[in-house]
Amino acid sequence: MTVSRVLRNRGDVSPATREKVLEAAKTLGYVPNKIAGALASQQVNLVAVIIPSVANMVFPEVLGGISRALEETELQPVVGVTDYSPDKEEKVLYEMLSWRPSGVIIAGLEHSDASRAMLAAAGIPVVEIMDTDGAPIDAAVGISHRRAGREMGKAILEAGYRKIGFMGTKLGLDHRARKRFEGFTEALAKGGVEIQDQEFYSDGSALAKGREMTEAMMIRSPDLDFLYYSNDMIGAGGLLWLTEKGYDVPDRLGCAGFNDVQLLQGLPRKLATMDSCRQEIGRRAAEIILGRLNGDDTPTGKVELTPRINPGDTLRLS
């Protein structure tokens, strides 16, 4: 009845009755039931956001971009976490889709067949984020990690480094880290250079792991002149160790990470890195959803952002 209209500021309601209803609602402590509302109106102003982890520092920033873009909107983000597991992704997705959200923002381009099917069948805008190396189901916004790896490789060669070591997460399910690695080795190969040593880790405090792995690697392969880390956290740990040991960085030895996490500002030396455009990815993804929902003819397909190399203090300039 009229009550519904008042609470949603819809249609014409006389200020008098409006007042009355509002007051009654307040004194009764009335909270509308969105479940019933959603069922009746067949629309749920929620955007499902599916990411691998909240601990990773990268994703909270993407989330920030999304929230900000959705702030002045009816839409609200709801996040689900997959822990980098395709199985869990499938479950989370199923769970979220069963609430009939207005759109989905999901990290990565690789999903199980079932997940892809659900997304395709959902009949709502789907934006895959972070990565553009592959074919999106609907829309995608991100960076090309393969290209990012390649460019870092190129920059390193141009700076004159030749004996290169790599450290990173186990490359199994982190597709983006894998693609960076592939692009990196590819660029090196083009310059006739091969990675001389490499090491992978799976869990633990990234800073400490970076430190340990770096120590192990420098003992094993003392003549390395560059260390490429798959993320800034292990890179920072490594750099701390190198600094303590008195390595001449970046001349005797250079190093670089990936992500440009601002968390690390304040460390003694600034690690060379590459911005992964996290905020903007979030914002753009949200905007695409909004556009689609407004019926704008937002172009489907990929939006590829371009990360820049930030040489910091640890990459000799060529």
Partner DNA sequence: ATGAAAGCGCTAACAG
Partner DNA sequence: CTGTTAGCGCTTTCAT
221 binds its own copies (CB under 8 A): no
Picked from DNA, its own copies, none, the partner binding residue 16 (CB below 5 to 8 A depending on kind) is: DNA
Nearest-approach distance from CB 38 to DNA, in angstroms: 8
The string over 139-170, giving b where at least 16 C-beta atoms fall within 10 Å of a residue's C-beta and e elsewhere, is bbbbbbbbbbbbbbbbbbbebebbbbbbbbbe
In the block, residue with structure tokens 């992978």:
200
How far apart are CB 39 and its own copies at their closest, in Å?
5
The one segment of 96-104, 126-134, 135-143, 192-200 that binds its own copies by CB under 8 A: 96-104
Closest to DNA by CB, 37 vs 86, is 37
By CB under 8 A, the residues from 21 to 60 that bind its own copies are 29, 31-36, 38-39, 44, 54-55, 60
How many angstroms separate the CA atoms of 237 and 205, rounded? 10
- Contact between residue 235 and residue 273 where contact means Cβ atoms under 8 Å apart: yes
Considering only residues 161 to 220 of the shown chain, the ones binding its own copies according to CB under 8 A are 205-211
Select from its own copies, DNA, none the partner in contact with residue 264, using the beta carbon and a kind-dependent cut-off of 5 to 8 Å. Answer: its own copies
* Residues of the shown chain interacting with its own copies in the complex, contacts defined by CB under 8 A: 29, 31-36, 38-39, 44, 54-55, 60-61, 63-64, 67, 76, 78-79, 81, 94-95, 97-100, 117-118, 121-122, 205-211, 237, 240, 244, 262-268
* Residues of the shown chain interacting with DNA in the complex, contacts defined by CB under 7 A: 1-2, 4-5, 7-8, 10-14, 16-18, 32-33, 36-37, 39-43
